[in-house]
């Protein structure tokens, strides 16, 4: 007899409250279900990141991690029945599909309870509200209330925790091991220990300068924790506890970035349709183009605009992209190629190893001007000026666009100014940036002049 801990976005052992709840009834069977519906639609970098994380998690749980392939609606009730569990313990899921899946599992469990404790966030979405009980619409007000609300201290593992036996099926671990063996350049080391080592190195060497250097893709100046946060290898509550008491703009900015993650989760919780629909309808009449060849050039990093192409190639190769470059590449797709934000959001979800659903979708809407941000659609990033400002020596560009490696800095930022032979086959820009910016602003004006669609 003993309960089941079902891991999803909490692939760790440290600061995991559900372990303590489950341990009250004896040996704990810790399980992760590989859902083919997700496995079959993920890119190679995403699959390898999950696979290597699961291998690390197996070691963390002393080889006693049950891994099975199948629909959790079937596999979790089956596992609970095998071990005679009275309860299955989970971290609460507030994303629309995950929440619906959990309700289905709860029904399938019958008399076995599904116990929700904690969530992937410092404050579970839905708990921070205005004085009148409504959700916050703007980030600054939410962030202030979120800080005032506060969060629990990290949890400790019970001293009497006993892990149940590994009940994995015969083939899943082999599949995971094979995927983990595939080469993906420059992915971070997986596992809880690696995440904590990365975190403490950031605290010691980069936190103080984070505010000033965080927008530089040519520098290793960010925490690099987003892939670990995505899978819950480390919890934001742990990070906030370690930052508490530290002063300075770097620490303040880092907490603000965590608040953005929590804000977008809260927005999605209250507005589940915003997963794929515009949160704000003001631009529902916006005219968009359908140019598959241009979109494909964007996907492959062949637009002829160096910073955009560097980011898109980094994404395809590693499953990650610097946040400043994410904004620039998103703006280029929406504003210069006049493509709906959903097209880019799906591409990012397919490839990013840190693709947090709420942050991804609402980050794209921030760029599109259809989300929570008060600044409207007429914000258009100039990708050339962004490159010159945030990659001043073209180090990032040369790294990911090797055709430009032999050019000097000014030429690498504006390669159309040199002969084709010197660019080693790198293409001309697929659009005129200035002309398409003017077109985007005209479309914005026309959309605002039209009545919003119901």
Residue intervals in the chain for CATH 1.25.40.80: 121-151+194-270
CATH of segment(s) 121-151+194-270: 1.25.40.80
CA 371/CA 342 separation, integer angstroms: 13
CA 438/CA 251 separation, integer angstroms: 39
Measured CA to CA in angstroms, residue 381 lies from 164, 280, 308, 350 at distances of 53, 21, 11, 24
Residue intervals in the chain for CATH 3.40.50.620: 4-119
Rounded mean pLDDT for each run of 10 residues along the chain, 454 residues in total: 94 96 92 86 83 96 96 97 97 95 98 97 97 96 97 94 94 91 84 97 96 97 97 98 95 98 98 95 91 98 98 95 97 98 97 96 95 78 98 98 97 95 94 97 86 48
User: In angstroms, how far is CA 125 from the centroid of its own chain?
Assistant: 16
Indicate the length of the chain as a whole number: 454
Residue intervals in the chain for CATH 1.10.579.10: 281-449
The H or E element spanning position 88 is: strand 87-90
CA 91/CA 234 separation, integer angstroms: 14
> pTM (2 decimals)?
0.95
pLDDT at 451: 60
Domain 4-119 fold is Rossmann fold (3.40.50)
pLDDT at 375: 66
Among 333, 313, 296, smallest CA distance to 396 is for: 313
How wide is the angle at C-alpha 363 spanned by C-alphas 360 and 364, nearest 5°? Answer: 90
Q: For domain 281-449, give the CATH superfamily.
A: DNA Cyclobutane Dipyrimidine Photolyase, subunit A, domain 3 (1.10.579.10)
Exposure string (b/e) for 219-235, b if CB count within 10 Å is 16 or more?
bebbbbbbbbbbbbbbb
pLDDT at 453: 44
Residue 183 tokens, joined: 């080469």
């Amino acid at each position: 007899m003993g309960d089941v801990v079902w891991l999803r976005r909490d692939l760790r052992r440290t600061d995991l409250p559900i372990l303590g709840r489950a341990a009250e009834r004896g040996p704990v069977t810790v399980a992760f279900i590989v859902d083919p519906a997700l496995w079959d639609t993920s890119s190679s970098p995403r699959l390898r990141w999950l696979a290597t994380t699961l291998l690390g998690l197996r070691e963390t749980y002393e080889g006693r991690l049950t891994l099975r392939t199948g629909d959790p609606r079937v596999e979790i009730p089956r596992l609970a029945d095998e071990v005679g569990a009275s309860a299955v313990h989970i971290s609460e899921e507030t994303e629309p599909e995950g929440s619906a899946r959990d309700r289905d599992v709860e029904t399938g469990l019958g008399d076995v309870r599904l116990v929700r404790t904690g969530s992937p966030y410092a404050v579970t979405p839905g708990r921070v509200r205005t004085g009148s009980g409504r959700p916050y619409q703007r980030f600054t007000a939410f962030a202030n209330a979120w800080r005032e609300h506060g969060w629990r201290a990290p949890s400790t593992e019970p001293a009497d925790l006993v892990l149940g036996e590994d009940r994995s099926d015969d083939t899943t671990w082999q599949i995971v091991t094979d995927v983990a063996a595939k080469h993906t350049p420059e992915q971070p080391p997986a596992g809880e220990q690696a995440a904590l080592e990365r975190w403490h190195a950031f605290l010691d060497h980069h936190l103080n300068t984070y505010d000033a250097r965080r927008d530089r893709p040519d520098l290793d100046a960010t925490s690099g924790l987003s892939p670990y946060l995505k899978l819950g290898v480390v919890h934001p509550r742990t990070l906030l506890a370690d930052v508490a008491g530290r002063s300075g703009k770097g620490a303040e900015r880092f907490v603000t970035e965590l608040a953005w993650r929590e804000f977008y989760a809260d927005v999605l919780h209250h507005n589940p349709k915003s997963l794929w629909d515009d949160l704000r309808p003001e631009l529902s009449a916006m005219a968009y183009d359908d140019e598959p060849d241009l979109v494909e050039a964007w996907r492959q990093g062949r637009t002829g605009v160096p910073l955009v192409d560097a980011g898109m190639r980094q994404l395809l190769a590693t499953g990650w992209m610097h946040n400043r470059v994410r904004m620039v590449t998103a703006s280029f797709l929406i504003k210069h190629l006049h493509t709906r934000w959903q097209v880019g959001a799906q591409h990012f979800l397919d490839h990013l190893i840190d693709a947090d659903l709420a942050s991804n979708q609402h980050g794209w809407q921030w760029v599109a001007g259809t989300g929570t941000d008060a600044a409207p659609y007429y914000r258009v990033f100039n990708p050339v000026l962004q490159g010159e400002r945030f990659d001043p020596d073209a180090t990032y560009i040369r790294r990911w666009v090797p055709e430009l490696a032999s050019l000097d800095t000014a030429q690498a930022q504006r390669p159309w100014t040199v002969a084709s032979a010197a660019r080693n086959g790198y293409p001309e820009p697929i659009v005129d940036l200035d002309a398409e910016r003017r077109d985007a602003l005209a479309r914005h004006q026309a959309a605002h002049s039209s009545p919003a669609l119901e």
